Amino acid sequence: MGMKRFMSRLGVGAAEVETVLDRPETLPGAVVTGQTTITGGKVDQEIEKILVALEATVEVETEDSTWYEQVTFGSQQIGGGFVIRAGEQQSGRFELAVPWQTPITDVGGWHLHGMKIGVRTTLSIPGALDPGDLDPVNVHPLPVQEAVLAALGDLGFQFRSADVEKGRLHGSELPFYQEIELAPSGEYARRIKELEVTFLVDGAGMDIVLEADRRGGLLHSGGDQLSRFRVGHHDTDRRALAGALHEQLQALGARRGWF
């Protein structure tokens, strides 16, 4: 028995947890629901806590290197304070809130390359290693987010890439934020190399942060410039949004002498 307990502390023959989501699709500000099942290992073990949390793959960038971290957010305890007997199974349901500023992973039926969000379930067991269970989640845009992206498409911008960067902007609720990178065309392409869009959502509406990477030239150097404006959840008219976005870009360009 002593050897079994020792091995369970190393994760061999220890209790395991498995999560089955009701559905892997969700929205910012919604919930993810599912069922967790704990299966006892070769020895009885105390389960201090059962935790579920969302997990994102986040890019960390410094001046000379870039790497990726797994960052958990929205963590919630859904049980604990009991002993799971060897070979025993116990199941329970959970409901996990999805923060408003959770990065979106899928738009219009397409998965955004590099976007990885999942639900991580872990057991807190004294002295034992628990790798946990990760279940992928597809986060779809809110109607206002989808309308903004469609309006940018109407202005000639095309999707290039997306990433989640570690750090905070003014109004950030999470220790990271998503940037959706778009390639310009037409009049914008003559002055802008790339447009990055960040959505900072809350229960009342959404801030749209535009970061334009200006093209350099013989007389002017390049550089990033920011614009930010707010819309409500009900502001889903593509034509109106396209007009507002165009005005923001024109105003930004006028201030910087781009256009």
C-alpha 9/C-alpha 133 separation (Å) is 18
Contact 49, 7 (CB under 8 A): no
C-alpha 192/C-alpha 82 separation (Å) is 59
**Is residue 35 domain-shared with residue 93, that is, in the same domain?**
yes
- Among 139, 167, 202, the domain-final residue is 139
**Is residue 148 domain-shared with residue 124, that is, in the same domain?**
no
**Which is nearest to 122 in space by CA: 114, 132, 112?**
132
Output the pLDDT for position 112: 95
**Is residue 106 domain-shared with residue 163, that is, in the same domain?**
no
Output the pLDDT for position 216: 42
- Per-10-residue mean pLDDT, the chain, length 259: 42 79 98 96 92 96 89 94 94 96 96 94 85 92 98 96 94 96 89 92 97 55 70 98 94 59
Output the pLDDT for position 130: 77
- Among 104, 123, 139, the domain-final residue is 139
Range of the domain at 198: 143-256
**Which is nearest to 140 in space by CA: 98, 175, 172?**
98
Q: Report the predicted TM-score, pTM, of the whole model to 2 decimal places.
A: 0.87
Provide the number of structural domains found in the chain: 2
**Is residue 175 domain-shared with residue 230, that is, in the same domain?**
yes
**Is residue 186 domain-shared with residue 170, that is, in the same domain?**
yes
- Give the Å distances, CA to CA, from 184 to 121, 208, 214: 41, 17, 11
- Among 139, 161, 184, the domain-final residue is 139
